[in-house]
Structure 1
């Protein structure tokens, strides 16, 4: 009989709602304004069982520099003893080893940031030039090879003269056709076409899939949304959006979730608003094992009970 080892996977899927190629051209864009933030993240692990873990690890995605969108001035991480590493997308993480966590006790992780986020305005121009080959393939949750998604993309692209016109058609389609409903499931582009509703994860995933179906590069971001006067049904913190690579412009930001209302649609197309704070790039970064923002693993699971009892963000606008 084979020995069976239990590995408890405690992943926080917080939905609300790679390194770039050397062949990329610099975006035809300008910085319109900058906001400065102080951000605090607090994570609490509770051992509510009677056992002591032989192994326990926590991986936390870290806010980091992402040009031209944001620059981190300082970062403080507690407790010490963590390991820093970078994944295939260039995302940064802190890995903690909390083995021998005593029963009935809590471990608290605190991370503080000082950073600046830019408002970027893009000039799309005549939308002529070459596309890049990266970020055009189907992947988990970005089902650009799905027959239904391919048919929608082909139909929306008819009579469009440029990639910019195609992408705008995809953006409008997602805003018009999806029904916003906040869920806590990690669905994707194909699921967004169903009747269960969609939040920022599905809005962004579907727009990415439509773009990739037409070989237009698109990449996914997860992070924080800091709205002082938030629109109803929009998450105040965890959020997702995307970049699309357009000829003559390079990577161009857009947020189809925030742009789903007709009177706000132009605000979030080819415009990076400084209330978006990037935590990770990529729909399924390997370090997060299908989760968002952090991943928690411990062993053995048959005698140890540990959970993330608290996960809080505090976002303070310092300068506008």
Structure 2
């Protein structure tokens, strides 16, 4: 069990931060916001967002979960129910960061000979696009914001954001719904944390977190299948010992939001936000 104490905002400035929610990666409990602030919900991605114009403390408990999933090899693109696709149609819309309609993306799909044909295995399609991403990008130049698929395609050297937006664009091009998972890697324990572990909790702040994003695919049975190409790329080259990859996410993450390229209206203001990750001054 992790206990977080996150300090957000400052006096006389407006700050946004997505409040972590329970999902397949974690159970969140005992959320306390002090002092109380305005809470808004983005209607598309269903993120819960706090808006503050003063310094606040956000505390909560988190129980991370280990994810190990597989995809039924008999599933095909035709197994998506029209209702499911309609409910998640926003995942198939292009934006500044993801674009499955780009001619360069289409050419990649043609070269790979991947198309949403009736009997094509969904597992084969997703695996092929995942491997393409691993084979054609280089991890580097990490930033605090989100790299677009265009940056990844053009420069090849990119961070976890570029790995994810390129893979999302490839998936979108064949009408496979998928989304960006936004959060943090929890840094490896130091001696201080290990002492507190003996009492079954750890006090964690932003200093113990490292920004990270990955992908999850919506399967025809409405479950989410995770893909973490950036961590696998780095592990394959001996740059990290962290686990994570095709269907595997270890219990070392804090998830705070989903999606990208937000328009968040509040009172008389409209906030245009690339990513809900670190506290954002607006």
Give me the TM-score of the superposition, normalised by structure 2.
0.75
- Deviation readout 1:56-99 (Å, 9 max, x if unpaired): 43222111122x2222111122223x111211211111122x3x
How many Å apart are 1:241 and its aligned residue? Answer: 0.6
Equivalences for 1:160-171 in 2 at 5 Å?
161-171=120-130
How many Å apart are 1:221 and its aligned residue? Answer: 1.2
DSSP-derived class of the 2:68 partner: strand
- What is aligned with 1:113? 60
From 85, 94, 112, the counterpart of 2:40: 85
Q: 1:85 to 1:259 in 2, by over 3 A?
A: same
Counterpart check, 1:125 vs 2:72: yes
Tell me, in whole angstroms, the C-alpha distance in 2 between the residues paired with 1:83 and 1:236.
25
Residues 149 and 190 in structure 1, CA contact (< 8 A), matched pair in contact too: no
- Deviation readout 1:209-229 (Å, 9 max, x if unpaired): 000001111111110111428
Residues 228 and 244 in structure 2, CA contact (< 8 A), matched pair in contact too: no
Greater share of residues in helix: 2
Tell me, in whole angstroms, the C-alpha distance in 1 between the residues paired with 2:257 and 2:244.
23
Equivalences for 1:1-320 in 2 at 5 Å?
36-45=1-10, 56-66=13-23, 68-80=24-36, 82-88=37-43, 89-96=45-52, 98=53, 108-128=55-75, 130-131=79-80, 132-133=84-85, 134=88, 135-158=91-114, 161-181=120-140, 182-195=142-155, 197-228=157-188, 237-247=210-220, 250-260=223-233, 261-262=235-236, 267-287=244-264, 289-292=272-275, 293=277, 294-297=279-282
How many Å apart are 1:113 and its aligned residue? Answer: 1.4
Greater share of residues in strand: 1
Which stretches of structure 1, 4 residues or longer, exceed 6 Å deviation after superposition? Answer: 263-266
Greater RCO between the two (CA within 8 Å, min separation 6)? 1
Computed over aligned residues only, the root mean square deviation of the Cα atoms, in angstroms, reads: 2.7
- Deviation readout 1:255-290 (Å, 9 max, x if unpaired): 111111437899410123221221011122333622
- Deviation readout 1:221-257 (Å, 9 max, x if unpaired): 110111428xxxxx95111011012345732011111
Residues 127 and 248 in structure 1, CA contact (< 8 A), matched pair in contact too: no
DSSP-derived class of the 2:154 partner: coil
- What is aligned with 1:5? none
Residues 144 and 211 in structure 2, CA contact (< 8 A), matched pair in contact too: no
Residues 157 and 169 in structure 1, CA contact (< 8 A), matched pair in contact too: no
The gaps in structure 1 that reach 5 residues or longer are 1-35, 47-52, 99-106, 230-234, 298-320
Give aligned pairs, total. Answer: 238
How many Å apart are 1:183 and its aligned residue? Answer: 2.8
Tell me, in whole angstroms, the C-alpha distance in 1 between the residues paired with 2:72 and 2:40.
39
Tell me, in whole angstroms, the C-alpha distance in 1 between the residues paired with 2:58 and 2:112.
44
Tell me, in whole angstroms, the C-alpha distance in 1 between the residues paired with 2:156 and 2:69.
34
Larger radius of gyration: 1
The gaps in structure 2 that reach 5 residues or longer are 190-207, 265-270
